[in-house]
Amino acid sequence: MGIQVGDYEVSVTQLQEIPSKNMILLVGPPGAGKSTFCHQVCLNTIVMRPVIYLTTESAPSKVLESMREKGLSEALPHALCFVDAFHETVGLPSAGRPDIVDASCEDLTSIGIAISKLQEKMRENVLLIFDSLTSPYFLSGPQVVRFMKLTLSRFAAEGNAVLACIDQGCGKPEDMVTMMSTADGIINIDLKNDAKTFNVLKHPKLRPTKIDIPLTWSTEITYQRIEEIIDPRLLRNFVETGFLNRVGKPIRTETGDLLNVFWPNFIRWSGMLWDPKRFRTLTYKFSKDVHSQIDIMIQFIPWHMRTLLKLLMPKKFSKAKDMKKLVSGMQTSTRRETGSTVEYLEGASKTDEHYFRVHECDTCWGFENVGATLGSSYIGSMAGMFQGLESWRGLERDWNAVETKCIGLGDPYCEFKLVPGQIDELQHSLEAIDNSIVEKVNDRLMDRLTEFLLHEKPLWKERRLGNEISLQEFHHILGGEAVSHASERFRMAMRFGGAMAGKRVGEHLMNMGMKEDEVIKRVLNLLEYCKVGKASMDETIRMKENCESFGMKGKEPSCFFTTGFLNGFFSAVKNQHVKETKCIAMGDPYCEWEFR
């Protein structure tokens, strides 16, 4: 399919032909299909010349699986080798195959060496697919611009070809301008309505043009039901504390079921460093989904209370008086679970349009006047809860919520509107955070962390009801983290956000002149102070009751942020990488990371 420009027609197939001695830069928002484009280029090119596929955000096995689904055969006309800059960066064990050379996104020299090693094996006329520059940029900043000029451009000039992709808006505008001027061709991908548009801004063989292609797939994310991936003990605990106002024995027997509110916010904003717009949307959607599955929670309530609840609860929450009654009953548990208080604004509300005020909201407190609304996970959970309650009574309505006031905008409290149906301004609100705001918030978090680690100053601005939240609320802040694990994009944000955060912390403390052993000791003490888990270190790192994987069920390690954080931290402090070899989610008694 192509577009006619006079008597000149350009097709997507032509875009996928990367000419020798040239570097093409593929730019587009997350989820636009840049990796899919790279896979197709590889499939088309392997017939004519060898390919080096450099992956920074996915395992080589995943890339091969995707290309086999598109028609890649086992018998290849030319060599296909991989540079795996993913596993080492996020702390996962590599495949250890002869056609794969390991590297790390935070070490551009290792990437350059890996490319040269494979180039020597393949000789000339090689296509290098760099998928993608986004993660190296986040970890190494403007050094990536220099890497493009010295390494990638030189590789192309030697008679090879380069296709490199990067997320639109991921870095400073001046860096992106330099990258584009370095490239011989620029293709921009954009998604609008039901179409994908390829904008050829410049190209060594083609004229500037646009190609529109109808989308033939759904952009909706599918994921598992929460009972499939959460331990029933944890679900029962959520019900007893959140619904029945009972405070029984903690299920984390050594660390307790409360943790410092700093840690989930640190995770959330580290994830937004890697993908600010999509990460907020994901946390809203997943938090909404996990709460819409409230029927799973209700089954843990005694049968006689379920019967009474069904008799007393209205079938639909349209009337203000019915909403006020329910919110009043939630107040006690809300204070204890989150440290926040929720107030229903009856005077401002009307049928099917409800307004709430939240005091000292745990996702916004401490981030005063940063320039954006911040409560995506909280409002998502409220929308999901009412959607789930109505569904339990047999009424299917899609509820949504949007913040109208926020501490992040300089307001003294947060307020949000809740309605059954769509809210036009919701998507704009979720995406109204740019890199400057994300950096501002992360700088504030890093300042508090540094003051705590160096001078034992308070880690968080004190709230009247305290700075500890429940394990249940920890998952709410991260947007129903267990359910979100089914999203590859969410996992990537958690992994790379952790790696970036750990590297920043390690480098910052080392630059303060602290000794290596002291830096490690203080960070391990931080984890225990925040009640992340009970951590210890000798030949390996062990953590009992890690909040990220505790109560989860899975066939592979699920400590995405923790592993990324430890990997980034120890790479900065000891020039070593770690990999998770045991995980509570897999049934192990603790999580464990080995050095490598």
6 confidence band (pLDDT: 50, 70, 90): very low
Q: What is the pLDDT of residues 425-468, one digit of tens each?
A: 998 998 888 888 998 999 999 999 999 999 989 998 888 888 88
Distance (Å) of CA 257 to CA 248, 249, 336 = 10, 9, 12
- What three-state secondary structure class fits 157? helix
Q: Which of 470, 483, 418, 136 is nearest to 282 (CA)?
A: 483
Percent of the chain topping pLDDT 70: 89
Helical spans, DSSP H, in 161-225: 173-182
Q: What is the pLDDT of residue 359?
A: 92
CA–CA separation, 480 and 377 (whole Å): 8
Cis omega (within 30 of 0) for bond into 132:
yes
Q: How far is CA 52 from the centre of its chain?
A: 27
Q: Are 477 and 364 in contact (CB under 8 A)?
A: no
Q: Which of 307, 313, 306 is nearest to 327 (CA)?
A: 313
2 confidence band (pLDDT: 50, 70, 90): very low
Q: Are 556 and 588 in contact (CB under 8 A)?
A: no
Res 233 pLDDT > 60: yes
For strand 100-102 and strand 80-84, is the pairing parallel, antiparallel, or unpaired? Answer: parallel
CA dihedral for 115, 84, 484, 218, sign (positive or negative): positive
Within 8 A by CB and 6+ apart from 207, the residues are: 5, 8, 10, 200
| Residues β-bridged to residue 405 | 415
What's the one-letter identity of residue 152? L
**Mean pLDDT over residues 360-371, rounded?**
91
DSSP symbol at 408: G
For strand 195-202 and strand 22-28, is the pairing parallel, antiparallel, or unpaired? Answer: unpaired
Distance (Å) of CA 358 to CA 348, 373, 399, 413 = 15, 13, 19, 6
CA–CA separation, 357 and 375 (whole Å): 12
List domains and CATH numbers for the chain. Answer: 2-214 (3.40.50.300), 226-475 (no CATH), 486-595 (3.30.1380.20)
Angle CA 273–276–281, to nearest 5: 140
What proportions of the chain, in percent to the nearest 5, are helix, strand and coil? 45, 20, 35
* DSSP notation for 114-132: HHHHHHHHH-SSPEEEEE-
CB atoms within 10 A of CB 518: 11
Percent of the chain topping pLDDT 90: 50
Backbone angles phi, psi at 197, to 5 degrees: -115, 125
Q: What is the pLDDT of residue 248?
A: 62
CB atoms within 10 A of CB 406: 25
- What three-state secondary structure class fits 306? helix
Q: What is the pLDDT of residues 374-425, one digit of tens each?
A: 988 889 989 998 999 999 888 999 999 999 999 999 999 999 999 999 999 9
| Residues β-bridged to residue 196 | 191, 213
CA–CA separation, 324 and 351 (whole Å): 12
CA–CA separation, 557 and 563 (whole Å): 9
Res 566 pLDDT > 60: yes
Q: What is the pLDDT of residues 309-335, one digit of tens each?
A: 777 788 889 999 888 887 776 654 444
Residue 561, exposed/middle/buried by CB under 10 A (0-12, 13-18, 19+)?
A: buried
